[in-house]
Amino acid sequence: MKFYCISFVLILNLYLVNASPIQIKNVPPYLSVLGSNFTRPILEPFASTQVDDNTDASHFIKKLKSENFLVYNHKFYDIIGRNPKIEVIASADYAFAHEGGAYIAKFNEVFFSSNRIDNNTKIQISKINLETNEVSFNITPKEPILFANGMYSYDGKVIICVQGQGNIGGSIVSLDPKTKKVTTIVDNFFGKFVQPGK
């Protein structure tokens, strides 16, 4: 069974508060090959890519800096509609909404994980109810989840990439959104996992 652990920054994140006007762009196929002379600092977003010898691409990439949504597949419009907007629906004074983003349709809730908090010692799992926009901070799974990272929704469960810590390797677990029961799906691949969310 394959799980794709998608790590994406939730739109709850504070960074997007002052986002620019929204336009939607289809990403054109010519971006598949950027030529031999492109550079992108590894931790910078796609829009920071420098391309010297592909004018179409450099033109396009420059525009990305003012976009909030990129449409890679037309089916995305079924989710965001034709006129999406970004608004802050919850905030806190720490990086409570950093990764994850697993929508559980049955309860209309999105689960997500914080950045490392408390001096790098823990990561919280929280959820937001999309009916009320009420956040349940720091929900407590039945068994500890050591540094949750990316998440995915599958079969009504929250599938979580777990980073592990020290000698305890990473794993992929499922969390029952109601009972909070944790089930390990895989904790090694011929040995050990190192941060499966990455």
Ligand X SMILES: *[C@@H]1O[C@H](CO)[C@@H](O)[C@H](O)[C@H]1NC(C)=O
User: Which residues contact ligand X (rule: CB under 6 A)?
Assistant: 37, 52-53, 119
CA distance 156 to 180: 12
Strands 69-71 and 99-104: unpaired
Q: Which residue has the tokens 């810590």?
A: 165
CB of 53 to ligand X, least distance (A): 4
Nearer to ligand X, 18 or 121 (CB): 121
Nearer to ligand X, 55 or 140 (CB): 55
CB of 37 to ligand X, least distance (A): 4
Nearer to ligand X, 121 or 132 (CB): 121
CB of 58 to ligand X, least distance (A): 10
CB of 118 to ligand X, least distance (A): 8
Nearer to ligand X, 44 or 53 (CB): 53
Q: What Rg do the C-alpha atoms of the chain give, in angstroms?
A: 19
Q: Report the DSSP beta bridge partners of residue 25.
A: 70
What is the DSSP annotation of 39-84?
E--TTS-GGG-EESS-HHHHHHHHHHTT-SEEESSTTHHHHH-SS-
Q: Report the DSSP beta bridge partners of residue 102.
A: 111
